[in-house]
Structure 1
Amino acid sequence: MYAEVIVEVLNYVGIVAFAVSGALKAGEKNMDLLGFITLGFSTALAGGIIRDVLLGRVPPVNIVYLPYPATAILASVATFLLYPHVRRHKDVVLYPDALGLGAFAAIGADVTASYCSHHGAASCWLLVVMLSSITAAGGGVVRDILAGEIPLILRREVYASAAAAGGVIYLATLPLGREAAMLITISAVTAIRIAALWKGWELPKVVSQPGAH
């Protein structure tokens, strides 16, 4: 019971933080109010929408459960109205964002594992890992595409990979109980993300030689 309340509270923290992140991107691109709302809404909710569509859960929860889109839209509008102040302190958003990443990863893993259980799938660990990552990071990909950029998670940042690790952690701890698995997943993903921010961790990539074609 208490675990579900904690997860739901952190889910709202994530919606607000992700919406602010998307709205800040809109500000960087000199978009109007609709642009702020579109990028804020997409960043906060598109990952869960994609997950639900892939699982055949239509219409997606992030659309039909009014408090979720309302929270994302209000956070986006607030960022628009307070943009100079929010932009000045944008680094503060990184820590609620990390909590949101953990919550979204855990929720994505839980929803997918529940789907597998109800549909009699004996093993769908890969699906759980993939949709945990998509739930948490899919909105950021949509945001960057709408902003005309290569998605940040494909260039740098331990972000989607942290969420994918959350899917593995959820499955590994599920024998302890669903609520325990979700709380452990949130804690682990949040810790990985914050450590990556502090240490500057990035995934390996090819370094192009200057002047090479």
Structure 2
Amino acid sequence: MADLIVDALNYVGIIAFAVSGALKAGEKDLDLLGFLVLGYSTALAGGIIRDLILGIVPPTNITSLPYQLAAIGASAFTFALYDKVSKYRDVVLYPDALGLGAFAAIGADIALKRGLNPLGVAAMAAITAAGGGVVRDVLAAEIPLVLRKEIYATAAAIGGLVYLSLYYIEGREVALLGTIISVVALRLLSLRYGWELPRLKRRAASPGA
């Protein structure tokens, strides 16, 4: 049952992330190919990077046609209805949070099967969940959002540690579901209350400097 839930949420995440990437393409005034590239990359790049690091070749997101079609379809849909979809971009945050949790759980699950240590599990959870967003921002010539604003990759990394803890206490299914719930909750709470990681406080330049 846990696998079915995660698989369903995986598609939710792919579609939500593809829409996110396509919306960024719209902001940059890109053409249809730009929409498809940013949407596809945002949805699937995190899993591709994870698999390459772990030696899983070819990566699952490249060999799975349904995953690719879901990403391309969502990107094309956003291109066709950009004016309408862009008005409701805040609604995408909720399925995006579900996808973040599912991707974090999947990344942690695969990392543990590969025998990684706790930090490795947390890293693979974060890369799987947030790697696509980093690729999206790099392609859009921006500093990745996860490095400068919001609790996003951090939530996924914490989810990896939650997965590891629950796995040895309650087993795989509880660990998968517990990770999804904890990541989604942390992500939504951070949006609700504007939580961010600490930053350096820079001194204002003195007059005439």
TM (norm. structure 2) is 0.96
| Residue in structure 2 matched with residue 119 of structure 1 by the alignment | none
Shift of 1:186: 0.2
| Residue in structure 1 matched with residue 103 of structure 2 by the alignment | 104
| Residue in structure 2 matched with residue 45 of structure 1 by the alignment | 44
Q: Read off the aligned partner of 2:199 and give its amino acid letter.
A: K
4+ aligned runs moved over 6 Å, structure 1: none
The 5 A counterparts of 1:142-181 are 142-175=135-168, 176-181=170-175
Shift of 1:177: 1.0
CA distance in 1, matches of 2:97, 2:154: 13
CA distance in 2, matches of 1:184, 1:31: 39
Q: Deviations over 1:24-50 (max 9, x none)?
A: 000000000010010001111100000
Q: Deviations over 1:74-133 (max 9, x none)?
A: 0000000000000000000000000000000000000110111xxxxxx61111010100
Q: How many positions carry a matched residue from both structures? A: 206
CA distance in 1, matches of 2:42, 2:205: 36
| Residue in structure 1 matched with residue 2 of structure 2 by the alignment | 3
| Residue in structure 2 matched with residue 68 of structure 1 by the alignment | 67
CA distance in 2, matches of 1:159, 1:208: 24
| Residue in structure 2 matched with residue 197 of structure 1 by the alignment | 191
| Residue in structure 1 matched with residue 113 of structure 2 by the alignment | 114
CA distance in 1, matches of 2:29, 2:104: 31
TM (norm. structure 1) is 0.95
RMSD value, Cα: 1.1
Q: Which segment is superposed worse, 201-210 or 103-112?
A: 201-210
- SS, match of residue 57 in structure 2: coil
CA distance in 2, matches of 1:5, 1:193: 23
Shift of 1:211: 2.8
Q: Read off the aligned partner of 1:77 and give its amino acid letter.
A: A
In the alignment, structure 1 segments of 5+ residues that lack a partner are: 117-122
